[in-house]
Structure 1
Amino acid sequence: MLMKLDYTLPISDENVTVMDITFSDIPVRLYLPKRKSASQRPAVIFVHGGAFVLGSCKLAALDLLNRQTAKNLGAVVVGVEYFRCRLLLFSLPVASDTVATPWTAAFQAFLSFTNFCYRLGHQYQFPVAHEDVVSVVKFFLQDKILAKYGVDPARVCISGDSAGGLIAAAVAQLIQNDPEFKNKLKAQALIYPSLQVIDIAIPSQRENEHGLILSKKLGIELACLYLTQDKALPQAMMKNQHMPHGSRHLFKLVNWSIFLPEKYKKNHVYTEPILGRLNPSYSALLDSRLSPLAVNDSQLQNLPLTYILTCQYDLIRDDGLMYVSRLQNVGVKVSHDHMEDGIHGALSFMASPINLQLGIRIKDKYINWLEENL
């Protein structure tokens, strides 16, 4: 099979001690470097992707990513398992509109496999995954916990890929703007992040509607499971008619015709999402935790040093590109890597037996940035 489906065990090696424990009752996989350090260590809190309903830090590729991060940086790495949002069996949609390739065959096999592994109950929908990650971060940033693991409070980064990047971005906004958190983040690192659910007709959504790995239809249907099992929502999102009345003020914050670099606008014509067509409407669609791109400049100004990686052939490429522009506009220091040959989810294919070189390059760019900046 093209995709490695099995979870890895918490096996330690000569460089890193690995253990599965809980922080504030939320499962985490903890990576502790064995190399002695004369000073306090940096730390990385990693939030995995998977459209809020799939995925795990225990999958081989992300275990490799976090293990190598701990080794190269001499950093404590916390992989968050926000399990409560995906515990019961649900029917995953089939992407009939996706162009058939070996990659899509592998992804569909993975989705079939997860039909037997995950369940989704109404009580585990939005904002449960976000709250789980906040609980872990709040627990870890306590002085006594940082001291226990020898972590420097001034050298903590939150990171994530895809939907995990969305959660990481939302949590970073909360931490940096909430006086309750005494210890702030030094950095955030977002790998092909999804950052908004307001406008589903941005250029990257149009150009990559029939993606090699993830089609627009499948991506929307998976993400909507985090909100509801009502099929009316994904149908409305496909037409960009899902936003409720009273949300027009958010459009200017995700307007790609303003924030997207010229080279990515091409000949696309901007049109606003259509309001009020969905009944019942979903007020959660106005929540900034689902659209960290759609917050005012005042909420972005306090954000830490930021790394964003985007991929050319990715449905949500333009979310990341717009976030780069918006952060730079308010004076946040941003490093941006764009993979011209990139596809969404490439990290998931970098482990054996596939060893996708694109995924390995993304891993190396991410870790190199952390080494230089954390």
Structure 2
Amino acid sequence: MQLYIYRLTPKYHFPVQFEDVYNDLRWFLSKNVLEKYGVSPERVCVSGNSAGGNLAAAATQQLFDDPDIKIKPKIQAFIYNALQSLDLDSPSYRENSHMAVLSKSLMVRFWSEYFTTDRALEKAMLSNQHVPAESSHLFKFVNWSSLLPERCRKGHVHTNPTYGSSELFQKYPGFLDVRAAPLLADDNRLRGLPLTYVLTCQYDVLRDDGLMYVTRLQNAGVQVTHNHVEDRFHGALSLLDLKIYQRLIDQYINWLKENL
């Protein structure tokens, strides 16, 4: 097992965290290091949950685009991960906006502090008015009206985005960077990714990020195992409910054993 350590917000901002994780992965995937620790180069998985899942997804995309990395992960696995800060008004954000574990306002704060301590970005994100009109083409990658299953769209109306000023984007372009928002990757970038495991929870503001990624990966020809938990919320892999925790851990570990 390899644990990646990265510098934290609000002291450090993107892309520091991504670079920390990516540099660790580049080091770990070198032939000499794998041999030193007795790791088979054909049995490597990149995995993470929540913010760590964001970094794992972004780093894996970059690894498969990097010609200098000869040893690629065999599989990737994500547990209720954050994947985009473009549209913060998806059905899961609406339905779970006041969820105690991870509310919309808290998630927006986490997103904005990833890029800056300037509260202007947080305020714009909270009203979903932070993306400039010149970046409107990116919304196709997070268009939940076509990427979510019908049961999650039911009762929700997809509205055209209200664009924000270019000033925030010029100051903090990271929130539209694919290394911070892996869902913004085009199909060519997704097409070569490895076998994937995604766990999502119904009562989680990040639910739709995971669901949209499942759809986009599958549309790009990537084989995906999707474990959706109907009665859980963000942080389900905790010891708050030992039976649920054990069930989800067992499912995850069994998938790893079957595919590594």
Aligned-residue CA RMSD in angstroms?
Answer: 1.4
Task: Please tell me whether residue 368 in structure 1 is matched to residue 258 in structure 2.
Answer: no
- In structure 2, the residue corresponding to 1:173 is in which secondary structure? helix
Task: Please tell me whether residue 303 in structure 1 is matched to residue 193 in structure 2.
Answer: yes
Task: Please tell me whether residue 345 in structure 1 is matched to residue 235 in structure 2.
Answer: yes
Distance between the aligned counterparts of 1:200 and 1:358, measured in 2? 28
CA contact (8 A) 1:141 1:153 kept: yes
Structure 2 equivalent of residue 106 of structure 1: none
CA contact (8 A) 1:346 1:356 kept: no
Task: Please tell me whether residue 181 in structure 1 is matched to residue 69 in structure 2.
Answer: yes
- In structure 1, the residue corresponding to 2:115 is in which secondary structure? coil
Structure 2 equivalent of residue 54 of structure 1: none
1:152 to 40, 46, 50: 40
Paired amino acid for 2:216: R
Structure 2 equivalent of residue 280 of structure 1: 168
Q: Which runs of 4+ in 1 moved over 6 A?
A: none
Structure 2 equivalent of residue 267 of structure 1: 155
Alignment TM-score, normalising by the size of structure 2: 0.95
Note the 1:110-129 alignment, pairs <5 A: 120-121=10-11, 124-129=12-17
Structure 2 equivalent of residue 134 of structure 1: 22
Structure 1 equivalent of residue 212 of structure 2: 322
Structure 1 equivalent of residue 182 of structure 2: 292
Q: What is the number of equivalent residue pairs in this alignment?
A: 258
Paired amino acid for 1:192: Y
CA contact (8 A) 1:156 1:186 kept: yes
The alpha carbon displacement at 1:278 in A equals 6.5
Structure 1 equivalent of residue 80 of structure 2: 192
The alpha carbon displacement at 1:291 in A equals 1.1
Distance between the aligned counterparts of 1:356 and 1:274, measured in 2? 43
**Which blocks of at least 5 consecutive residues in structure 1 are unaligned?**
1-76, 87-119
- In structure 2, the residue corresponding to 1:79 is in which secondary structure? coil
Paired amino acid for 1:80: Y
**Which blocks of at least 5 consecutive residues in structure 2 are unaligned?**
none
2:5 to 71, 81, 84: 81
Distance between the aligned counterparts of 1:304 and 1:260, measured in 2? 22
- In structure 2, the residue corresponding to 1:190 is in which secondary structure? strand
The alpha carbon displacement at 1:262 in A equals 0.8
- In structure 2, the residue corresponding to 1:271 is in which secondary structure? coil
- In structure 2, the residue corresponding to 1:151 is in which secondary structure? coil
Give per-residue Cα distances to partners, 1:225-256, cap 9 Å, x unaligned: 11111111111111110112321110001100
- In structure 1, the residue corresponding to 2:161 is in which secondary structure? coil
The alpha carbon displacement at 1:261 in A equals 0.7
Distance between the aligned counterparts of 1:232 and 1:314, measured in 2? 25
- In structure 2, the residue corresponding to 1:293 is in which secondary structure? helix
2:108 to 220, 224, 230: 220
CA contact (8 A) 1:240 1:274 kept: yes
More strand by share: 1
Compared CA separation, residues 272 and 290, structure 1 to 2 (3 A): farther
Paired amino acid for 2:32: K
Compared CA separation, residues 146 and 138, structure 1 to 2 (3 A): same
Give per-residue Cα distances to partners, 1:99-144, cap 9 Å, x unaligned: xxxxxxxxxxxxxxxxxxxxx32xx211111100001100000100
CA contact (8 A) 1:293 1:323 kept: yes
- In structure 1, the residue corresponding to 2:102 is in which secondary structure? coil
Alignment TM-score, normalising by the size of structure 1: 0.67
